[in-house]
């Protein structure tokens, strides 16, 4: 076969050889002619020092500084550059034993022969000054400036979170981190780690044979500039947060306060709390273990992670669902003779006026009324079966943010629990249960589990008459126009906004009703401010019940919505209601008119002295 194109082999081969030639010229210029790339063949004359940027600062919503940084020094070691040195002198300067030195060098070698790893962390400026003069004697060591977190106050430890060294798992998973790097481990420090950490840089220094710095290599041409962490403004109100922590002292529980019109978290208190300064620096690991072993679990963020049945604070939701499903009307009345009897089941109630309509049932927290409402919802003829009606009820409940994570910017948020029909099928068999079987859900007991954050969010929904923004703790990030659109999107519940007014009136009367009308939360009253609230008691099989109060104020154009939990506090009205009331007054007026009430709360100690958790203070 004739081949007319045989000569093209020269074109093709020529093309390749031409490119090879260009590459060889380029390599020659890179490797032989251009000396700037030749750092060194022995790796002794240059040394890369990681530049750790300062983490971003954290402010409260009014621009008050919450978290900043202070300088410390890490002594680093590069095992393959080590040479014999005066160990005794070295140990004296650093105040460590020779065994320590051996152990630490072994550790460094285990990590890497060529890469620097920390030998002794967080040397004080004073030791550093002495060490710096003698550094030339210790080849293979160098000092790395670092920054540590510094806290302005002793507050908001749970919300802010803490920073600690990365563990090996993270190093393996994420290319960015190296041994000895710091990383946010909880709270804002964790959820905004990418923003706060900035970006590490590398400086390349010329080093003489004695390991002394001789200036930067090539005027820093090959350095990578570190980028300082970005500052964050949180939604927290320092005064309110501080006051909340004060009120919760000697009590176990939590306070979550949210600004309803934005979903911004104003205060997030989990008690007992701890001083965030305990978890920085060299004292960190020791303190961390202490805190971890504390029986009162101060590290546990109750506001996000404690799950309780909501108790009577859940009654407004059942009322709303009843209205939406048209199984009751605001004027619907039910008799209550100290309890509810139905299908052989009895739910007790306290002594109050009878019969009551919906707002007054909220005011009096009548169990009987809400058992009737709940039965109406589940036995609604619109649905083919109780199970179907139940799942519809569940969807309403879920639309308030229960039973799933709210997707807030908190880490470690828990889901709570709202059972499905299938959950009961498993226990009672299909069609083996009726409205009466689940009647405890009517008054927020039973299988329901909610977190304090979810409850605060529920109040937000009521305050807003039907919608919420995902609660979040970061207001703005420096240099970014807006926080994530996730937190700007209005979330509607499945309840029409017109139904809320009745419920809100009930919550108003619960606090501000005339004496003798059965108001359950009169302790939350504030002169001149219409507080709307609802008490609740979470049953506690292990001891005294938990005291719960949810509230928002003012009634029209609400500025604050909150949930307060006091574990083992008994009735909702006893401790939780006054605490919520004091918080509202503090936030709205910044003055306190009821010294006696404040004193009562401050003097209450619900923690057994034997296992007092404040030993660390």
Partner 1 sequence: MRRKVILWNSIDWVTILVYLILVFLGWINIFTAEYDEEHKSILDISQRYGKQIIWIGTTFLLAFLVVVIDSRFYHFFAYAIYGLLIFFLLAVLVFGREIHGARSWFEFGPIRIQPSEFVKFATGLALAKYLSAKHLNINNIKSLASAAIIVMVPVLLISLQPDMGSALVFFSLVLVLYRNGLSGSIFFAGIFVAILSILTLFFDKLIITTSIIIVSFAVFWIVERKMKYVIYAMAIFAVISGSLYGLKELFTFALSIYFILVMSVVLSGLVYLFLSYRRKIRNVSIIYFLLVGALVFTFSENYVFNNVLEPHQQKRINIVLGIEFDPAGSGYNINQSKIAIGSGGFSGKGFLKGTQTKFKFVPEQSTDFIFCTVGEEWGFIGTLTVIALFSILLIRIIKLAERQRSAFERLYGYVVFSIISFHVVVNIGMTIGLFPVIGIPLPFFSYGGSSLWAFTILLFIFLRMDAGRMEHFI
Give the interface with partner 1 as residue ranges (CB under 8 A): 1, 4-6, 8-9, 11-13, 16-17, 19-20, 22-24, 26-28, 30-32, 34, 36-43, 48, 109-110, 112-115, 175, 199, 201, 222, 224-225, 227
What CA–CA distance (Å, rounded) separates 566 from 546?
Answer: 6
- When the beta carbons of 285 and 480 are compared against partner 1, the nearer one is 480
Distance, first Cα to last Cα, the chain: 96
- When the beta carbons of 86 and 194 are compared against partner 1, the nearer one is 194
Tokens read off for 348: 């007790």
- When the beta carbons of 48 and 573 are compared against partner 1, the nearer one is 48
- When the beta carbons of 108 and 456 are compared against partner 1, the nearer one is 108
Least distance from C-beta 5 to partner 1, angstroms? Answer: 5
Least distance from C-beta 169 to partner 1, angstroms? Answer: 18
Q: At what angle do helices 87-94 and 98-111 cross, to 10 degrees?
A: 90
Least distance from C-beta 39 to partner 1, angstroms? Answer: 4
Least distance from C-beta 482 to partner 1, angstroms? Answer: 19
Listed residue (130, 235, 183) closest to 587, CA to CA: 235
Least distance from C-beta 229 to partner 1, angstroms? Answer: 15
CA dihedral 408, 409, 412, 417 (to 10 degrees): 0
- When the beta carbons of 204 and 473 are compared against partner 1, the nearer one is 204
- 544's CB contacts (< 8 A; 6+ apart) are 568, 569, 570
Least distance from C-beta 22 to partner 1, angstroms? Answer: 7
Beta bridge partners, 49, equal: 203
Alpha-carbon distances, residue 204 vs 117, 138, 175, 210, 231 (angstroms):
17, 19, 21, 17, 28
- When the beta carbons of 26 and 350 are compared against partner 1, the nearer one is 26
- When the beta carbons of 9 and 282 are compared against partner 1, the nearer one is 9
**523 touches 570 (CB < 8 A):** no
- When the beta carbons of 33 and 88 are compared against partner 1, the nearer one is 33
Least distance from C-beta 191 to partner 1, angstroms? Answer: 23
- When the beta carbons of 188 and 207 are compared against partner 1, the nearer one is 207
Listed residue (484, 481, 378) closest to 436, CA to CA: 378
Least distance from C-beta 200 to partner 1, angstroms? Answer: 10
- When the beta carbons of 45 and 296 are compared against partner 1, the nearer one is 45
Tokens read off for 145: 């400036």
What CA–CA distance (Å, rounded) separates 525 from 427?
Answer: 44
Alpha-carbon distances, residue 188 vs 71, 143, 410, 413, 487 (angstroms):
21, 30, 7, 12, 16
Listed residue (110, 132, 114, 115) closest to 123, CA to CA: 132
Which region holds residue 568: left if phi is over 0, alpha if psi is between -120 and 50, else beta?
left
Tokens read off for 176: 């960015």
Listed residue (534, 614, 517) closest to 576, CA to CA: 534
Least distance from C-beta 44 to partner 1, angstroms? Answer: 10
CB atoms within 10 A of CB 429: 9
Least distance from C-beta 220 to partner 1, angstroms? Answer: 10
């Amino acid at each position: 076969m004739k081949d007319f194109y045989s000569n093209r082999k020269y074109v093709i081969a020529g093309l390749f050889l031409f490119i090879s030639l260009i590459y060889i010229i380029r390599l020659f210029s890179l490797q032989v002619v251009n000396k700037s790339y030749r750092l060194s063949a022995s790796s002794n004359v240059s040394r890369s020092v990681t530049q750790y940027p300062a983490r971003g600062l954290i402010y409260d919503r009014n621009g008050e500084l919450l978290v900043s940084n202070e300088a410390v020094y890490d002594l680093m070691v590069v095992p393959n550059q080590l040479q014999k040195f005066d160990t005794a002198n070295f140990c004296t300067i650093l105040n460590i034993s020779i065994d320590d030195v051996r152990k630490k060098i072994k550790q460094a070698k285990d990590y890497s022969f060529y890469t620097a790893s920390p030998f002794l962390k967080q040397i004080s400026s004073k030791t550093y000054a002495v060490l710096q003069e003698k550094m030339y004697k210790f080849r293979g060591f160098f000092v790395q400036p670092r920054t540590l977190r510094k806290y302005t106050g002793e507050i908001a430890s749970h919300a802010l979170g803490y920073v600690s060294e990365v563990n090996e798992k993270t190093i393996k998973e994420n290319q960015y981190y190296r041994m000895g790097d710091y990383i946010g481990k909880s709270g804002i420090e964790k959820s905004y780690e990418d923003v706060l950490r900035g970006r590490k840089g590398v400086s390349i220094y010329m080093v003489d044979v004695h390991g002394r710095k001789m200036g930067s290599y090539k005027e820093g041409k090959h350095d990578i500039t570190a980028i300082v962490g970005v500052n964050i403004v949180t939604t927290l109100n320092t005064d309110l947060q501080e006051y909340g922590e004060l009120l919760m002292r000697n009590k176990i529980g939590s306070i979550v306060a949210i600004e309803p019109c934005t979903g911004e978290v104003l205060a997030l208190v989990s008690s007992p709390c701890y001083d965030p300064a305990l978890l920085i620096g060299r004292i960190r690991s020791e303190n961390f273990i202490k805190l971890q072993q504390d029986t009162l679990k101060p590290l546990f963020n109750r506001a996000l992670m404690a799950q309780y049945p909501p108790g009577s604070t859940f009654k407004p939701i059942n009322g709303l669902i009843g209205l939406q499903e048209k199984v009751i009307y605001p004027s619907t009345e039910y008799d209550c003779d100290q309890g509810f009897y139905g299908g052989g089941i009895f739910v007790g109630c306290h002594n109050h006026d009878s019969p009551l309509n919906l707002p007054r049932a909220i005011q009096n927290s009548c169990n009987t009324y809400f058992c009737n409402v709940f039965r109406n919802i589940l036995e609604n003829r619109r649905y083919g079966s109780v199970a179907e009606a139940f799942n519809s009820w569940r969807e309403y409940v879920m639309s308030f943010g229960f039973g799933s994570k709210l997707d807030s910017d908190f880490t470690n948020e828990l889901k709570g629990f709202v059972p499905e029909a299938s959950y009961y099928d498993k226990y009672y068999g299909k069609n083996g249960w009726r409205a009466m079987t689940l009647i405890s859900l009517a008054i927020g007991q039973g299988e329901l589990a909610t977190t304090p954050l979810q409850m605060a969010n529920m109040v937000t929904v009521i305050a807003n008459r039907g919608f919420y923004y995902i609660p979040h703790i970061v207001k703005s990030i420096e240099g970014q126009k807006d926080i994530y659109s996730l937190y700007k999107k209005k979330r509607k519940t499945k309840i029409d906004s017109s139904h809320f007014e009745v419920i809100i009136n009930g919550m108003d009367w619960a606090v501000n009703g005339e004496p003798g009308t059965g108001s359950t939360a009169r302790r939350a009253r504030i002169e001149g401010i219409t507080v709307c609230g609802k008490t609740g008691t979470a049953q506690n099989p292990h001891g005294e019940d938990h005291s719960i109060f949810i509230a928002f104020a003012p009634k029209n154009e609400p500025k604050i919505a909150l949930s307060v939990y006091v574990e083992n506090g008994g009735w909702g009205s006893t401790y939780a209601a006054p605490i919520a009331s004091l918080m509202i007054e503090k936030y709205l007026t910044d003055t306190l008119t009821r010294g006696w009430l404040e004193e009562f709360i401050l003097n209450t100690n619900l923690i057994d002295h034997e296992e007092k958790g404040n030993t660390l203070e």
